[in-house]
Amino acid sequence: MADDKSKRDFRDRQRMSGDEQYEVGYFASKFGRTIPEVRELIKKHGNDRETLERDAKALGNR
């Protein structure tokens, strides 16, 4: 049976899955990083999206 689309929970948007290729690819293209760089950020800082975005922006300012 399909999921009930009326019951949505947005807590997952605060986390990023390093196992999901599409999430890593989108994040990499959004911040001009490579996929290995994004995976390294996830490994270093965990999967908190806000922290990852802040650090990805900081890397862009090198």
Tens-binned pLDDT, residue by residue, of the chain (62 aa): 556 667 666 666 788 888 889 889 999 999 999 999 999 999 999 989 999 999 988 877 55
pLDDT of 20 reads: 85
Q: Give the integer Cα–Cα distance in Å for 15 and 4.
A: 22
Where in the chain are the domains? 17-60
pTM here? 0.72
- In Å, what is the CA distance from 57 to each residue of 16, 33, 45? 16, 10, 14
pLDDT of 11 reads: 60
Contact 36, 18 (CB under 8 A): no
Q: How many CB atoms lie within 10 A of CB 53?
A: 15
Structure tokens, 31? 């911040």
